[in-house]
Amino acid sequence: MYLGLGIITFQQGRALHNSAQKISNNRTLMGTAAFTDYYKEFAYALHEFSSSVGNPLLAPVFFLLGSPGTFTHSRTIATSADQIAQDLLGAVESAQPRSSGQPGINLDLLAQSAPSLTNSQQEIYSLLHNLQNLHLHGILLPFDSRLDSIRKSAHSALIVSKKLLPLLPAAHSLLGSDSPRTYFVAFQNPAEARGTGGIIGAYALLNINKGHITVARVGSNAELVSQETLPIDMPEDFLSLYGVDPAIWQNSNMSPHFPNAAKIWLALWEIQSGEKLDGVITLDPFVLKQYLQVSGPLTVGNQVITSKNLISETLSREYIRYANDNNARKLFLVTLLKTTLERLTSQPLPPSDFLALVEKPLRESRIYLYSAHPTEQSAIHQSTISGSMDSSRDNTYRLVINNLAGNKMEYYLARKISVKSIQCGKKPITQVDYILENTVSATAKLPPYVNGRLDLLKNNGYGNSTKIEAFLYGPVGSKITGALNMTTRKAVSLKASENKHPVLISILELKPKASIHIRAQFTGGVGPLAHITQPLVRPAVLSITDKCAR
C-alpha cells in the first residue's frame, strides 16, 4: 500500500512540479506574450496543477500526510477555474485592438462576455481568494514557493475585479456604444491635499465613441473659471462644513465624497463652456508613474520622465526649476499629462499589462469615476471606484486632510494611523489615533510656491510651517465619545457630520520637524474594523487591531 502511494505521490509530484513551474513563470509570460496566449497558457497550467493536486487517488495521501485541506482546496479551484477562465478570456480579448491601426475596446466582445462575468462575480471572487491562499504542505512543501507569483497575481486580480466587475452592466454605455461620450479628467496634485486626494493641477477632456478613445483637450487649472456661489444645491451638512468655498475649482473636492466634487465640477464646466459633459475621471501623478512603469519613459520638453523620477519632478523639483515662471511650470504639467494620455489612447498597452497598470492606483483610490447618467452611476456606486462615502452601517474610519495654507507642504507630510478595538460586546468602543508630522526642517530652502502661507499673507513662507484641517470620520450610526490632542493635552471638541458619518475636526498648525497626536474614541460601529486611506504623497503607516473580530 505504502509503495503504491509512494509511486502515486512521485508521479503527481512530477506533474505538480511541471505545472507549478508554468504558473510561477506567469509574470514572464505577461511581459512577453500576447495576453490571449498568456491567459490560455495560464489557464492550462492552472487546470493541470489543480487536476494534479485534486486527483482523487491523492486523497488518502493528503490524509496520511496530515494535509487534507490542500486536496479539498485544490478540488474547489479545479471545479470553478475553467468556466471562469473562459468568461474572463472573452472580456480581456475585447480590450485588444480591433484591427491594425484602430485601437479601442471591442464593444461586441464586451457585450458577449459581460453577462456571464456579471453573474459570476461571487464565483470569481471566491476563485481568486482561494488562489491567493493556496499553499502546499507535507511532502509537497518543496513545491509551495513556486506558487508565490500566482498567489500575488491572484491577490492583485481580486482587488481589480472587485473594483471593475460591478461596472460591467454600465460598461457598454460608459464607452459610448449608443452615443459619443465626453469625460472631464481631473489631474489631482496630492502635495496640496483635498478630500479626494489633491487640488486640481491640470485637466483634460476625453472623447469616447463606440469604444474608441481620443484626447480632445488638455489645459491647466488657470483656465478653469470659478464662481462666487455654488453652481448646484448641496445638502445642509455639506454647506455647514465647507460653505461656498467649493464654488472655486481648487476647493470643489474638499469633501471625500467624490460624487460631490464631480457634480460641482460638471456644473462649473457647463457654466464656463456651455458643454454638458458625461462624467468625471480622476488621475494623479502616481497613476502616470504606474503607466510609465509598464510603457517606458517619455520626453517632456528636454526632460526624460521615467517612473522613477515622475513623482519628484511633478510634485517637488518643478517648483524649484520654475520658481520664477509659474506659467512655464503649468505648461510642463499640461504637456506631461497630454503626452501621457495621447500615448495611452493611441498606443494601447497589451492587456497583459493592464493588471500591472491599474491594481496599485485602484487599491490606493487614485482613480475615481462618476457618471452624470443615473443608471450608469448606480452601477458605479456598487464599486469603491465611485469614491462614495457608504451610508450603510459598518465599522470603517477615515482620516481626511485639507490644506489650509495654500501651499504644497503635504509633499512632506507623514501620517501614522492606528485603529483598535477597546471594548467589545453590546457597547463596543473603538479608539483611533493619528499622528501627523511635518518632516521638513526649518532650515530647508523651499520655493515660495511650496512653503508660502497664504492664510497668513506670508507668500515667502513662515519657517516652513503649514496649516491643515484634519477630519476624522466614524462609521454611520456611531458617536464620538471623547477626543484629545495628546500633544497639547487639550480636548478636541469640534464635531460635525457628513453623509450620516460623525466627524471630528481639528485645525492644526504643523511646525517644521514637529508632529501632532490626536486620539478619539467612537462607539456604535458594526462589524470588522477598517480604514479608508486618503491618497496623498507619502503612504500612511496604518495599523488595525481588532480584538472583537470573529
Tens digit of each residue's pLDDT (9 = 90 or more) over 408-445: 999 999 999 999 999 999 899 999 999 999 999 999 99
For a pLDDT cut of 90, what percent of the chain falls above it? 64
Q: Is the pLDDT of residue 329 over 80?
A: yes
Do 153 and 180 belong together in one domain? no
Instruction: Fill in the DSSP letter of residue 167.
Output: G
Q: How many residues does the chain have?
A: 550
Do 302 and 285 belong together in one domain? yes
> For residue 22, what are the CA distances in angstroms to 343, 354, 434?
33, 21, 45
Average pLDDT over residues 195-214: 96
Closest CA to 314 of 400, 199, 404: 199
**Sequence-ordered alpha helix ranges (H) in 442-510:** 448-451
Q: Is the pLDDT of residue 46 over 60?
A: no
For a pLDDT cut of 70, what percent of the chain falls above it? 77
Do 152 and 181 belong together in one domain? no
Better-predicted residue by pLDDT, 41 or 212: 212
Average pLDDT over residues 100-123: 67
Report the distance separating Cα 127 and Cα 84, nearest Å.
9
Does some domain include residue 226? yes
Does some domain include residue 382? no
pTM summary value: 0.84
Average pLDDT over residues 166-188: 93
Q: Is the pLDDT of residue 277 over 60?
A: yes
Does some domain include residue 384? no
Does some domain include residue 550? no
Does some domain include residue 206? yes
Does some domain include residue 511? yes
pLDDT band at 245 (very low <50, low <70, confident <90, very high): very high
Do 44 and 129 belong together in one domain? yes
Q: Is the pLDDT of residue 490 over 90?
A: yes
Determine the pLDDT at residue 94: 55
Average pLDDT over residues 18-45: 42
Q: Is the pLDDT of residue 43 over 70?
A: no
Contact, 71 vs 54, CB < 8 A?
A: yes
Determine the pLDDT at residue 109: 67
Average pLDDT over residues 42-47: 50
Do 151 and 246 belong together in one domain? no
Determine the pLDDT at residue 54: 45
Do 190 and 295 belong together in one domain? yes
Question: Minimum mean pLDDT among 66-70, 170-174, 237-241, 269-273: which range?
Answer: 66-70
How many domains does the chain fold into? 3
Question: Minimum mean pLDDT among 104-108, 219-223, 422-426: which range?
Answer: 104-108
Crossing angle of helices 354-363 and 285-295, rounded to 10° = 160
Average pLDDT over residues 371-376: 97
Determine the pLDDT at residue 483: 98
Sheet with 197-209, strands from edge to edge, namely 212-220, 197-209, 181-194, 279-283, 369-371
pLDDT band at 353 (very low <50, low <70, confident <90, very high): confident
What are the grid coordinates assigned to 449, written together? 510656491
Do 361 and 493 belong together in one domain? no
Instruction: Fill in the DSSP letter of residue 226.
Output: P
The CATH number of whichever domain residue 287 belongs to comes to: 3.40.630
Contact, 211 vs 104, CB < 8 A?
A: yes
Question: Minimum mean pLDDT among 122-126, 164-168, 270-274, 503-507: which range?
Answer: 122-126
Which of 152, 169, 186 is the last residue in one of the domains? 169
- Its domain, for residue 224, covers 176-377
Better-predicted residue by pLDDT, 308 or 63: 308
Question: Which range among 112-126, 129-143, 299-313 has the greatest average pLDDT?
Answer: 299-313
Contact, 434 vs 470, CB < 8 A?
A: yes
Does some domain include residue 329? yes
Better-predicted residue by pLDDT, 395 or 85: 395
Determine the pLDDT at residue 112: 67
Q: Is the pLDDT of residue 69 over 90?
A: no
Does some domain include residue 281? yes
Q: Is the pLDDT of residue 350 over 90?
A: no
Q: What is the CA radius of gyration of the chain?
A: 26
Do 345 and 452 belong together in one domain? no
Does residue 307 sit in helix, strand or coil? coil
Number of Cβ within 10 Å of residue 131's Cβ equals 22
Question: Minimum mean pLDDT among 90-94, 124-128, 544-548: which range?
Answer: 90-94
Average pLDDT over residues 67-91: 49
Average pLDDT over residues 13-25: 45
> For residue 444, what are the CA distances in angstroms to 221, 408, 522?
28, 14, 39
Task: Tell me the backbone φ, ψ of residue 465, rounded to 5 degrees.
Answer: -90, 170
Do 438 and 419 belong together in one domain? yes
Which of 113, 145, 169 is the last residue in one of the domains? 169
- What are residue 208's DSSP bridge partners? 181, 213
Contact, 494 vs 240, CB < 8 A?
A: no
Which of 146, 169, 192 is the last residue in one of the domains? 169
What are the grid coordinates assigned to 367, written together? 482613480
Determine the pLDDT at residue 283: 97
pLDDT band at 151 (very low <50, low <70, confident <90, very high): confident
**How much is the mean pLDDT over the chain?**
83
Contact, 91 vs 114, CB < 8 A?
A: yes
Do 244 and 206 belong together in one domain? yes
pLDDT band at 123 (very low <50, low <70, confident <90, very high): confident
Determine the pLDDT at residue 356: 77
Average pLDDT over residues 488-496: 96
pLDDT band at 142 (very low <50, low <70, confident <90, very high): confident
> For residue 174, what are the CA distances in angstroms to 105, 182, 287?
12, 10, 21
Determine the pLDDT at residue 274: 97
Do 199 and 298 belong together in one domain? yes
Better-predicted residue by pLDDT, 138 or 542: 542
Do 407 and 337 belong together in one domain? no
Instruction: Fill in the DSSP letter of residue 453.
Output: B
> For residue 139, what are the CA distances in angstroms to 6, 18, 52, 262, 546?
11, 16, 14, 56, 35
> For residue 41, what are the CA distances in angstroms to 24, 28, 85, 131?
12, 12, 11, 17
Report the distance separating Cα 279 and Cα 228, nearest Å.
23
